[in-house]
Amino acid sequence: MKLILLGAPGAGKGTVAKLLTKLDGSVQISTGDILRGAVQAGSDLGKQAKAHMDSGGLVPDSLIMGIMEKRLQEPDCQKGFLLDGFPRTIPQADALKALLAKIGIKLDAAVSLEVPREVILDRLTTRRTCSNSSCQAIYNVKSMPPKVAGKCDKCGSPVVQREDETEAAISHRLETYNQKTAPLIGFYQKEGMLMNVNATSSDAVVNAIKQKLGIK
């Protein structure tokens, strides 16, 4: 399958993508993970991206499009891919449309995950992430805490709250999303590719996508 997953920060795009990859070998492509890896590595790209990510703002297109063009042409994308958090703006969507036409790839759908704001705030302010850049396991202090407080179950590294997941940063990220990313719903609706799904349950989202694409 070849999907775009749309939704506000905390809507569950990453969780849904991980579940979908198990169905047919499609790969999850998250620009967030790629950029956080660059930040951890201290690369030039990472240093440029860090200021934007820490404040909850969007990373500029100039840092994103080159990464995405290269990524979509890697061998593991041949079975399919799930774009998690990309595109984020109408210009990116236009650029992606042109890129896919250039390399001969047709998308199956753009799936919009609909979640109430209060649910998103609760999900993200209680989320914790493993500080080891090669692990980055995700926990939730309410629903899925690590077995030992503050330590990753998988690798033993400290589990921390990311700087872009404080309540102030999340509120800013949601405002940014509403201004710049939410218009993508209209873009893909005009393209005839939009699929709206109530995303309070990840399993319900996966089942709806399977039904839409005829996957058993």
Both tokens of 62, joined, read: 């100039």
* Residue among 103, 88, 138 nearest 2 (CA): 103
106 tagged catalytic: no
36 tagged catalytic: no
Write down the catalytic residue from 2, 36, 123, 173: 173
13 tagged catalytic: yes
Write down the catalytic residue from 18, 97, 162, 212: 162
DSSP 24-84: H--EEEEHHHHHHHHHHHT-HHHHHHHHHHHTTPPPPHHHHHHHHHHHHTSGGGTT-EEEE
Between the alpha carbon of residue 37 and those of residues 14, 43, 124, 165, the distances in Å are 16, 9, 20, 17
**Tokens 């998308």 -> residue:** 107
Write down the catalytic residue from 2, 13, 50, 123: 13
Write down the catalytic residue from 2, 88, 123, 128: 88
128 tagged catalytic: no
173 tagged catalytic: yes
* Residue among 180, 4, 198 nearest 113 (CA): 198
Catalytic annotation, residues: 13, 88, 127, 162, 173
